[in-house]
Amino acid sequence: MNLSCPGSAYTYSYATMGELVAWIIGWDLILEYLVGAATVAVGWSGYFVSFFQVAFSIDLGKRFTSPPLHWDEPTLSIIYNPDGIINLPGLLIVLVLTIILVLGIRESKWLNNVIVIIKLLTVLLFIFAGIKYVDPKNWRPFVPPATTDGDWRHFGAGGIFAAAQSVFFAYIGFDAVSTAAQESKRPERDLPVGIMVSLGVCTVLYICTALVLTGIVPYAQLNVEAPVALACVQTGMKWLEIIVTLGALGGLTSVMLIMLLAQPRIFHTMAHDGLLPPIFARVHRRFRTPYVPTLVSGAVTAALGALLPVDLLGNMTSVGTLLAFLFVHVGIVVLRFSRPDVPRKFRIPGPGFVWMVFPVVGAAVSVLLIAVADRTTIWRLFAWMAIGLIFYAVYGFRKSNLGHPKSTVVPVLVSEKLSASEGFAKLYIL
């Protein structure tokens, strides 16, 4: 099935499970991208401060590089941070990228390839340069025993799942491979291969980086905003710290750029469906960019990154991502039975219902990881979704193009022509 709009999991859910589920996912994606970009902005700020420290011996202090709020893990609550007023670097980088996106940037295959190569070289440099500084004693015990404080998520098997849930937002970008459908010669083949290869390569790099990182620095000391930079300090190689920190800054900048680029697409698509006010579908006359959702996304992301701690932001992003992936897994099963006539160029090999193993297991793992999140994070997600359902009942349901079609055929949603950086790619449901 070929959907000519860039709604990611939102569009997939719309096609497979209807408007209400699509609204839930779209509203969830809004949270996911806003909070996700803010999380990366906080991490970017940490490496920015680290770079000035190692390269120029300038200590930027904490007053204007730390948020005024702090996440207290023992009480699972937000408390006042007397050392920080505002995370200014995180605020400014988001505002700069927002302005760039409003003005429009021209993406090129060459530029994207250069960014990817720089990221890969930086990660590989850290792995191979740091491996000789690894102390295997830091890995023992490899799985620290669970504590007896009453929280089963503290170390042990429960801690593994809790940690996986916390860092799951790192996997947000894999569904972005589908946006390359328009440039692919054979998307029905290229997209599955691209997603699986990138997933495999990144997973291997994640594991190797984590092993080297925890081998150099004991895991208990890694609760900092720039852990890789801290590991480089332990090696005593200043040149490595500078290069890795610069590489991290470049990599995190590109991640923020993609998230801030994707968020307006969700707004734009939902506005064209009538689920959001039409102002979010406006395109700038000169720059041909969706400037209203871009400015709104940038302002909210900047505020979140400036005021909230990375722990809180990261947990919210992960839970939102897991919820979106859960509905995609369910949608695969629903689509296979509800639309068996849809042409499918790619099929999971195997007899009978073997194909169901993957979406069913994926859905089960998604539910499990959501369940291990701390209760305050889950309540925040429920509160956000409740606000979304109220908005849908008051506005979206009445204004929906599907609920009030202007013709007998539900229109295919194609936006106005945008700039090259905002051009909508086709999403192929395989």
Look up the CATH number of the domain holding residue 159: 1.20.1740.10
For residue 337, being part of any structural domain is answered with yes
Give the pLDDT of residue 6: 52
Residue 346 reports pLDDT greater than 70: no
Position 423 scores a pLDDT of 34
54 assigned to some structural domain:
no
pLDDT at res. 411:
35
pLDDT in tens, 23-77: 998 999 898 889 999 999 999 999 999 899 888 889 998 899 999 987 776 666 7
More confident residue, 374 or 423: 374
Q: Does 145 fall in a domain?
A: yes
Q: Tell me the two tokens of residue 268.
A: 């734009």
Per the structure, the complete domain to which residue 413 belongs is given by 2-49+88-348+357-425
CA distance 80 to 311: 14
* 76 within a domain of the structure (yes/no): no
Please determine, for residue 107, whether its predicted confidence score (pLDDT) is greater than 90: no
Q: Average per-residue pLDDT in the chain?
A: 82
Q: Do 225 and 41 meet the contact criterion of CB atoms below 8 Å apart?
A: no
pLDDT tens-digit series, residues 25-38:
899 989 888 999 99
| 316 Rama class: left (phi>0) / alpha (psi -120 to 50) / beta | alpha
Instruction: Give the C-alpha separation, 172 to 32, whole Å.
Output: 9
Q: Which has the closest alpha carbon to 144: 132, 126, 162?
A: 162
Q: Give CB contacts under 8 A, 24+ apart, made by 280-287.
A: 281/415, 283/415, 283/416, 283/417, 283/418, 284/102, 287/102, 287/103, 287/104, 287/419
Winning range, highest mean pLDDT, from 98-112, 180-194, 219-233: 219-233
Task: Count how many residues are written for the chain.
Answer: 430
Cα–Cα distance, 377 to 374 (Å, whole number):
6
Q: What is the pLDDT of residues 154-181, one digit of tens each?
A: 888 888 888 888 888 777 777 656 655 5
> What per-residue confidence (pLDDT) applies to 8?
66
- Would you say residue 59 lies in a domain? no
Q: How many domains does the chain have?
A: 1
Which pLDDT value is given to residue 64? 93
Q: What pLDDT is stored for residue 422 in this prediction?
A: 34
Residue 416 binned pLDDT confidence (cut-offs 50, 70, 90): very low
In a domain, 57, yes or no: no
* b/e map 304-328, b = 16+ CB within 10 Å: bbbbbbbbbbbbbbbbbbbbbbbbb
Whether residue 171 is contained in a domain is answered as yes
